[in-house]
Copies of this chain bind each other. A is one copy, B any other.
Amino acid sequence: MRYELYYWNGIQGRGEFVRLALEEAAADYVDVCRNEGGEDAMMTLLDSDAVTRPPFAPPFLKAGRQLIGQTANILLFLGPRHGLAPDDEAGRLWTHSLQLTIADLVSEVHDSHHPLASSMYYEEQRREAKKRAANLVRERLPKFLGYFERVLARSARTPRFLVGRALTYVDLSMFQVVAGLRYAYPNAMAGLEKRCPRLVDLHEHVRLRPRIAAYLASARRLPFNEQGIFRHYRALDA
């Protein structure tokens, strides 16, 4: 079965967490909106009255006749099918809770450049963004990254994964968080990374995995930019 991934063209955004899982799984998929007419098809699925179970927003995945919305939920679906989640229910719930914590972090990173409204331009909320970004860097990132570092510290093996002995989708997402934060907040991250060496190692391990390395070197991997979630604005990264 060929999966269809629906996500805004031109940005990594939340779609990237799904792409990384599909790539590591060597799954057969098409990134619909990168093709002519793709965004129209996406809007139809979002708005059509004929869709029984419409997703709220991109990204969503079409798997046969099933439409699956919400990033973490898509990974919950893909994980067990592609060897990217533990076999037991307790392990899957634990993995999923980590993914949901990453989702919370990602939302906070988004709001650091859009604290007032997603529908306004960054330039219209720059002053507020400066305050929120300062709080993100000073309080929230240390709390989130410290948490994941602590989770990694409980793993005895090298390479250390967030869950058990094998790579799961949440490791791939963690790679993306570190990569995105390095892009958006290079100054802040230079300091923060000293306190989370295991996260740095995990990022490096994922980056070098053959399928991920091939993906990152391909045209399928879009560059970070100032339309996505991880945006670099010098004013926010003092």
B54/A151 in contact, CB under 8 A: yes
B154/A52 in contact, CB under 8 A: yes
Judged by a CB distance under 8 angstroms, whether A97 is at the interface is yes
Task: Mark out the residues of chain A between 65 and 84 whose CB falls within 8 Å of any chain B CB in the assembled complex.
Answer: 66, 68-70, 72-73, 76-77
Judged by a CB distance under 8 angstroms, whether A55 is at the interface is yes
Interface size class, chain A:
35 or more
Q: Please give the distance in Å from A113's CB to the nearest CB on chain B.
A: 13
Judged by a CB distance under 8 angstroms, whether A93 is at the interface is yes
B97/A73 in contact, CB under 8 A: yes
B93/A56 in contact, CB under 8 A: no
B135/A116 in contact, CB under 8 A: yes
Q: Please give the distance in Å from A109's CB to the nearest CB on chain B.
A: 13
B116/A147 in contact, CB under 8 A: no
Identify the closest chain B residue to A119 (Cβ): B139
Q: Given B54, B66, B72, B76, which contacts A150 in the complex, CB threshold below 8 Å?
A: B54
Q: Given B69, B93, B116, B135, which contacts A128 in the complex, CB threshold below 8 Å?
A: B116
Task: Mark out the residues of chain A between 150 and 174 whose CB falls within 8 Å of any chain B CB in the assembled complex.
Answer: 150-151, 154
Beyond A117-B132, A117-B135, 6 extra complex contacts between A and B, CB < 8 Å: A72-B100, A76-B96, A111-B111, A111-B115, A116-B135, A119-B139
